[in-house]
Amino acid sequence: MAKGLMTLSLDLTDPATFVENDPHEFWRRVRREQPVYWHPSSSGRPGFWVVAAYDDVLAGHGDWKRLSSARGNVLDVLLHGDDSASAKMLVVTDRPRHRALRNVVLRAVSPRVLDQVVRRVQERTAALVAEVAELGTFDFAAEVADRIPMDTICDLLSIPPADRRDLLGWNKAALSADRPGGARLDAIEARNEIVLYLMDLAFERREHPGDDVISMIAGAEVEGRPLSPEEVALNCYSLILGGDESSRVTAISSVLAFTQFPDQWQGLRKGTVSIATAVEELLRWATPGMHFARTALCDFTLRDRQVRAGDIVTLWTISANNDETVFAAPRELDLSREPNKHVAFGHGPHFCLGAALGRASLGALLQALVARVGEIELAGVPSRIYSNFIRGHSTLPVTFHP
């Protein structure tokens, strides 16, 4: 028997779906017609629940008693089985271990550490934007967006500069593709490369500790024992996942939005809009991480649907952040939008630890653009990322007028 009436036909497991269709029109229909529905199984993979309304997504993020992250928190992983990092990496761990592990990572990314990193982000971003402003026409993704977030996270982890380009390449391959047909095996290999690299650093920093984040995590204990080198590596990788791809895609999306809404850009440039409110609106506008996934721990009712223990439940942040009942005219960029209670960083126990750094990095970019750039024009067709998790562009040809 079907778990719910199904009239919405887009395949949410197919990365091409979010390139070939307008996702915002689709999610408007979902919220209006079936804000909770069952996505059928296909190709031998299980079906799953789709949750689209803001209030339901928000509640799902906070409902750790009924919805588990331990099997995995991304749909593609859960459709192929359990996450191999379960109970080792913070984002795929449940309470009570989650709370103890989160406290370790929180201590490692203390305000003192973050303040130093933010200063370097501001300096690096200002210099880079000043450099590209002289180029005229260029690919913003390659020349700016690819170069800032990974360096920021690598500063946090004290990654040697010579290794950073490799990390960027692996991380991009692990989460998305620049073309149709990106191989799943390539993504797995890329993740393995990152984890193995970070394990080597964990061994090294445990033997010769410094005041960097890897050393602090490597020297900590959780539930009375030190973390294994794999656990250290996986939790450092979690910081890369949260800080690189999402920040990079948000930066690209923001500049693209300025070409589409030049009045909003001019308001920011002239100071009639604050950097702080602009940051929040651009985070909502971009929503690079389209969903997060959970596994039901028990039977319960969600709206009028019966969720069973073991069912996969997907919380669609891209829909929640464009819910008309919460955000007036959500597809109109409004850099002065207040209040702006978006869920781009999640909510509840798994709220993103890198939120402050993400906000600071985007704010540094906006400040640098305001200082150096007059007008921004699109100079070609940007390339979409092929992913059912990350939504954004991998290229963005633009012209900056100083």
Taking residues 113-128, report their average pLDDT: 93
Question: How far apart are the C-alpha atoms of 300 and 34, rounded to whole Å?
Answer: 18
Q: Residue 373 gets which letter from DSSP? A: -
Q: Given this model, what pLDDT does residue 176 score?
A: 54
Q: Tens digit of pLDDT for each residue in 86-107?
A: 989 999 999 999 999 999 999 8
3-class SS of residue 155: helix
Taking residues 49-64, report their average pLDDT: 98
Question: What confidence category does residue 4 fall into, taking pLDDT thresholds of 50, 70 and 90?
Answer: very low
Q: Residue 84 gets which letter from DSSP? A: T
Q: Tell which residue, 198, 151, 166, 173, has the closest CA to residue 357.
A: 151
Indicate whether 184 pLDDT > 60.
Answer: no
Q: Given this model, what pLDDT does residue 31 score?
A: 97
Indicate whether 5 pLDDT > 60.
Answer: no
Count Cβ atoms below 10 Å from residue 183 Cβ, excluding itself.
10
On average, the pLDDT of the chain sits at 91
Q: Given this model, what pLDDT does residue 6 score?
A: 40
Q: Given this model, what pLDDT does residue 29 score?
A: 95
**Facing residues of 2 across strands?**
none
Question: What confidence category does residue 9 fall into, taking pLDDT thresholds of 50, 70 and 90?
Answer: confident
Taking residues 339-364, report their average pLDDT: 94
Helices (H), 315-391: 317-320, 355-372
Taking residues 320-333, report their average pLDDT: 98
Q: Tens digit of pLDDT for each residue in 21-55?
A: 999 999 999 999 999 999 999 878 899 999 999 99
Question: What confidence category does residue 110 fall into, taking pLDDT thresholds of 50, 70 and 90?
Answer: confident
What is the chain's Cα-based Rg?
A: 21
Compute CA distances 35 → 17, 32, 50, 54, 306, whole Å. 19, 7, 8, 9, 14
Q: Tens digit of pLDDT for each residue in 212-271?
A: 889 999 999 998 999 999 999 999 888 887 777 889 999 999 999 999 999 999 999 999
Q: Tell which residue, 201, 206, 210, has the closest CA to residue 219.
A: 206
Taking residues 289-312, report their average pLDDT: 97
Q: Which residue has the tokens 């030049």?
A: 262
Highest-pLDDT range among 71-85, 195-209, 293-307, 344-358: 293-307
Superfamily name and number for 17-370: Cytochrome P450 (1.10.630.10)
Q: Given this model, what pLDDT does residue 174 score?
A: 75
Taking residues 379-386, report their average pLDDT: 95
H helix and E strand count, the chain: 17, 12
Tell me the two tokens of residue 54: 């803001």
Q: Given this model, what pLDDT does residue 175 score?
A: 63
Where does residue 254 rank: exposed (0-12), middle (13-18), buried (19+ CB within 10 A)? buried
Indicate whether 2 pLDDT > 60.
Answer: no
**Facing residues of 226 across strands?**
221
